[in-house]
Amino acid sequence: MKKFFGLLVVLALTFTLASCVSGEVLEDTSHDYFATGNFAGWDAVTSSDDYKMEAIARNDERIDSIVKETKDAEAIYILEITLPSEAAGWDVTYTIDGTETVFDGNLTVKVIQTDVDSEVPNYWAQSPESLEVKNLTPDTLYVPSFVETSEDGSGTWNDNPVALKAGTYDFVFVVFDGYKGMALIEK
């Protein structure tokens, strides 16, 4: 009986340790990341700390809803953004699940990577240079296909990801080995 109880304690401790989420800030020390889109004036963001994303740890409560999706993350960045409901004066159209959907330009988002303390973009995510960006929150965000040309209207690697509706979000960008992740977590 003592052996059985000891085994249960060891198993409980193992599961507890396995389920812990690291408090270590996951940061790319060579690069800065900026949230951009129509809401931010696009490329002007790299000259302002207002749109510079903050490196965070996996245990940051703001990403609780996607913590499982960040399991193998090398770096995680976040910034609160507000996407207005007013019309931008231009639209983007994507075919999603066979349905052509029109989004207002104010719902567009991207991430710009620069070298640390530089204003010169290395890439705009998603793009061929950024590698594929996986959508971590499909209920709030649409990320176009990672292809050069789109036969089905789903968008390409140089098209803008879009929020499905206006609102205030925690905009999250995750760096993985060989790809990236993007999320809009509604506030």
Residue 49: inside a domain = yes
Structure tokens at 119: 């204003």
Q: What is the pTM of this model?
A: 0.89
Instruction: Provide the residue range defining the domain that includes 161.
Output: 23-186
Q: What is the pLDDT of residues 102-155, one digit of tens each?
A: 999 999 999 999 999 999 999 999 999 999 999 999 999 999 999 999 999 999
Q: What is the pLDDT of residues 169-186, one digit of tens each?
A: 999 999 999 999 999 999
Q: Which long-range contacts (CB under 8 A, 24 or more apart) does 142-149 make?
A: 142/94, 142/96, 142/101, 142/103, 143/182, 144/94
Q: Reply yes or no on whether the pLDDT at 12 is more than 80.
A: no
Residue 13: inside a domain = no
For the chain, the domain total comes to: 1
